[in-house]
């Protein structure tokens, strides 16, 4: 994760008293997020270039206090070889005019420049703008420089290498045997605690004989998260076939504890899950594409985070293997945004819809199912989807996803746009 820094810019021609006052108002707006401000206001070219080099490893928010600073913001970014900058402006003293010029200069040099502005910087509406900036900026910051652990018996592949290069991240492959060793060495008292947590969190429609194994998987994932991994993932089916138990319950619990945990070693879905967590402060849900008919889609999988369910989760036999356990429950019938990401991490497909049914709706597919209704025919999805897995995000986040994708140098495409 990259740290976020706010760097204020001003032209002295506008008067220090004025722009210092504007800065203090923005400090109050951003203070709710606990992010750092550069100690000072950038007013000169040499200072801008020097600070660009200083904050090269940060995700900068350039706060345009006055007009006349587009060149300073540009030199700040180019001086530090910074490849993405958020720009924050307001409607007075040519702040927005200068911010637009800065955005145009940066984009011409291939630098992503997300521009946000307040019409009245002292208003509550400006607080809402800052909320939007921070939801997008935090999503970007969480992806960049992230560390991902993939539990799998294979070498690092093309998708992992692409993820690393696109997002300056690190993906480590953890062999199944090493993970199993972590399970075996789990502290016995912690194993008992984990078993109790599982029993309190789930109703069981299958035998509880595998609970100790489940608890040990959970603890091994915890250990990886405690080592600083931002995302943990596992190649599920080789693990299930070798050890006779699924990781579905541990993944459900981990996601509910703000630890992004992903099945099937799917980094494309992992990116979607990170985005879901940062935008909504809740888990996303990964679903297999099961059916698309008229304006309805059915997605299914064998786990779901507890924080998405409106009642108690049910543990039952896994669909394909009959191993213990799959996780099933009902979610609120609410607006959601569906996203899917390609293997090159260059395109994000999405569409907004509404959950109309959920839970165990049929025995012919994975146990946790959602029926989602859209305002447009959705049968086009199988022909254009960049991947099988789609991540369901609670709420309408289409515009924020467009902005976030842009700042990650990705294209954002609505499925409904393909119908035009």
CATH number at residue 293: 3.20.14
Q: Specify whether the backbone of 13 is left (phi greater than 0), alpha (psi in -120 to 50) or beta.
A: alpha
pLDDT of residue 321: 87
Token pair 């990886």 is found at 224
Indicate whether 31 and 154 sit together in one domain: no
The whole-angstrom separation of Cα 137 and Cα 404 is 8
- The model carries a pTM of 0.96
Closest CA to 345 of 224, 173, 225, 168: 168
Whether residues 220 and 89 fall in one domain: no
Query: Can you give the length of the chain in residues?
Result: 420
Pairing of strands 147-151, 296-301: unpaired
Q: Which of 128, 143, 158 is the last residue of a domain?
A: 143
Which residues are bridge partners to 348 per DSSP? 341, 412
Q: Tell how many helices (H) and how many strands (E) occur in the chain.
A: 14, 19
Give the CATH number for residue 31.
3.40.50.10940
CA angle, 409 then 90 then 144, to 5°: 25
Do 362 and 402 lie in a common domain?
Answer: yes
Give yes or no: residues 134 and 256 share one domain.
Answer: no
Same domain, 226 and 351: yes
Domain extent, residue 200, equals: 147-419
Q: What is the pLDDT along the chain (420 residues), one digit of tens a residue?
A: 899 999 999 999 999 999 999 999 999 999 999 999 999 999 999 999 999 999 999 999 999 999 999 999 999 999 999 999 999 999 999 999 999 999 999 999 999 999 999 999 999 999 999 999 999 999 999 999 999 999 999 999 999 999 999 999 999 999 999 999 999 999 999 999 999 999 999 999 999 999 999 999 999 999 999 999 999 999 999 999 999 999 999 999 999 999 999 999 999 999 999 999 999 999 999 999 999 999 999 999 999 999 999 999 999 999 988 899 999 999 999 999 999 999 999 999 999 999 999 999 999 899 999 999 999 999 999 999 999 999 999 999 999 999 999 999 999 999 999 986
Residue that is last in its domain, among 143, 177, 210 = 143
CB 357, CB 372: distance < 8 Å: no
Which of 143, 160, 186 marks a domain boundary? 143
> Are 138 and 151 members of one domain?
no
Q: Both 193 and 129 in a single domain?
A: no
Co-location of 272 and 311 in the same domain: yes
Residues 257 and 116 in one domain: no
Sequence-distant (6+) residues with CB within 8 A of 358 are 329, 330, 331, 333, 368, 369, 370, 371
379 Ramachandran zone, left/alpha/beta (phi>0; psi -120 to 50): alpha
**Please, are residues 125 and 119 in contact by the beta-carbon 8 Å criterion?**
yes
pLDDT of residue 150: 99
Q: Are 345 and 391 members of one domain?
A: yes
Same domain, residue pair 118 and 26? yes
Query: Can you list the alpha helix ranges (DSSP code H) found in 202-283?
Result: 211-226, 236-243, 248-256, 267-280
Query: Structure tokens of 204?
Result: 């069981």
- The radius of gyration of the chain's CA atoms, rounded to the nearest angstrom, is 23
Same domain? 151 vs 134:
no
pLDDT at 1: 87
Contact of 18 with 66, CB cutoff 8 Å: yes
Number of domains in the chain: 2
What pLDDT, on a 0 to 100 scale, did the predictor assign at position 322?
A: 86
**Whether 287 contacts 299, CB under 8 Å:** yes
Tell me the C-alpha distance between 315 and 369, whole Å.
14
3-class state of residue 257 by DSSP: coil
């Amino acid at each position: 994760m990259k740290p976020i820094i706010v760097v204020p810019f001003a032209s002295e021609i506008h008067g220090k008293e004025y722009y210092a006052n504007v800065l203090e108002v923005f400090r109050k707006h951003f203070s709710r997020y606990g992010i750092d401000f550069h100690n000072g206001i950038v007013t000169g070219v040499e200072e801008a270039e020097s600070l660009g080099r200083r904050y090269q490893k940060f995700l900068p928010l350039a706060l345009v206090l006055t007009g006349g600073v587009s060149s300073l913001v540009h030199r700040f970014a180019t001086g530090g070889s910074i490849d993405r900058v958020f720009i924050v402006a307001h409607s007075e003293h040519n702040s927005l005019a200068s911010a637009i010029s800065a955005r145009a200069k940066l984009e011409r040099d291939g630098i992503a420049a997300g521009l946000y502005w307040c019409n009245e910087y002292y208003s509550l509406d400006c607080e809402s703008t800052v909320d939007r900036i921070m939801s997008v900026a935090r999503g970007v910051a969480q992806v960049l420089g992230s560390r991902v652990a993939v539990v799998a018996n294979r070498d690092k592949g093309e998708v992992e290498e692409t993820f690393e290069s696109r997002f300056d991240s690190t993906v480590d492959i953890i062999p199944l045997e090493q993970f199993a060793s972590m399970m075996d060495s789990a502290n016995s008292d912690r194993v008992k605690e984990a078993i109790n947590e599982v029993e309190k969190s789930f109703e069981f429609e299958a035998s509880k004989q595998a609970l100790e194994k489940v608890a040990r998987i959970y603890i091994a994932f915890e250990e990886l998260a405690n080592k600083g991994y931002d995302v943990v993932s596992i190649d599920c089916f080789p693990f299930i076939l070798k050890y006779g138990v699924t990781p579905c319950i541990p993944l459900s619990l981990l996601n509910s504890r703000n630890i992004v945990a992903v099945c099937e070693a799917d980094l494309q879905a992992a990116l979607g899950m990170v985005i879901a967590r940062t935008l909504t402060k809740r888990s996303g849900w990964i679903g297999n594409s099961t059916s698309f008919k008229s304006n309805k889609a059915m997605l299914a999988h064998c786990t779901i985070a507890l924080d998405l369910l409106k009642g108690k989760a049910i543990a039952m036999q896994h669909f394909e293997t009959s191993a213990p356990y799959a996780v099933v429950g009902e979610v609120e019938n609410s607006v959601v945004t569906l996203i899917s990401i390609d293997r090159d991490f260059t395109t994000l497909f999405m569409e907004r819809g509404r959950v109309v049914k959920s839970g165990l709706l049929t025995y012919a597919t994975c146990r946790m199912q959602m029926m989602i209704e859209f305002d447009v025919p959705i049968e086009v999805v199988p022909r254009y989807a960049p991947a099988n897995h789609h991540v369901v995000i609670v709420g309408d986040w289409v515009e924020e996803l467009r902005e976030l994708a842009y700042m990650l140098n990705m294209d954002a495409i609505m499925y409904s746009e393909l119908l035009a």
